[in-house]
């Protein structure tokens, strides 16, 4: 019992320690939301709290979590702390998506290999 308690205290201490990086994602929004995919596009905009980024992309997912499209962001420039990308509501195959709620999942990987993920919903009307 003492060993289990010691291990639990170690895990709690580790999860609260300085080994855990601060958030690199400052803001992640899209506008307009909702939008009509066949006549307009939505713009995903993000602001970062770091310039030490190796990779960033947005996965567009259906409500079941299935990957529909991947949007790459060009932010691995040492001065880039903001990025925008337009999405027309198309799948990677080039098909317009039907009306519905979609999840935009932003993944940012910093130079230390830490991955941060945040999600927002977008609506195609």
Q: Has residue 111 got a pLDDT over 50?
A: yes
Residue whose C-alpha is closest to residue 88's, from 76, 79, 99, 96: 96
CA separation for the pair 90, 92 (Å, rounded): 7
Q: Has residue 85 got a pLDDT over 80?
A: yes
Domain 22-124 class in CATH: mainly beta
Q: Is 79 left (phi over 0), alpha (psi -120 to 50) or beta?
A: alpha
Residue whose C-alpha is closest to residue 83's, from 121, 115, 52, 43: 43
Q: Residue 74 — very low, low, confident or very high, per pLDDT cuts 50/70/90?
A: confident
pLDDT digits (tens, 9 = 90+) for 51-69: 888 889 999 999 999 999 9
* Torsions phi, psi for 58 (to 5 deg): -115, 125
Q: Which residues touch 79 (CB under 8 Å, ≥6 apart)? A: 51
CA separation for the pair 72, 60 (Å, rounded): 11
Q: Would you list the domain boundaries of the chain?
A: 22-124
Q: Residue 110 — very low, low, confident or very high, per pLDDT cuts 50/70/90?
A: confident
pTM to 2 decimals? 0.78
Q: To the nearest whole number, what is the mean pLDDT of the chain? A: 83
Q: Has residue 34 got a pLDDT over 50?
A: yes
Summarize the confidence of residues 12-32 as an average pLDDT: 70
Tell me the sheet residues that pair with 72.
57
Summarize the confidence of residues 75-89 as an average pLDDT: 80
């Amino acid at each position: 019992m003492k060993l289990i308690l010691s291990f639990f205290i170690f895990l709690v201490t580790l999860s609260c320690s300085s080994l855990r990086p601060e958030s690199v994602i400052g803001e992640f929004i899209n506008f307009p939301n909702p939008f009509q995919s066949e006549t307009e596009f939505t713009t995903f905009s993000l602001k970062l709290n770091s310039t030490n980024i190796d990779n960033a992309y947005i996965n567009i997912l259906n409500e079941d979590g299935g990957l529909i499209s991947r949007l790459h962001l060009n932010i691995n420039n040492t001065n880039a702390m903001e990025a925008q990308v337009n999405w027309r509501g198309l799948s990677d195959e080039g098909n317009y998506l039907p009306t519905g709620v979609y999840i935009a999942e932003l993944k940012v990987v910093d130079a230390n290999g830490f991955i941060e993920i945040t999600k927002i919903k977008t609506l195609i009307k």
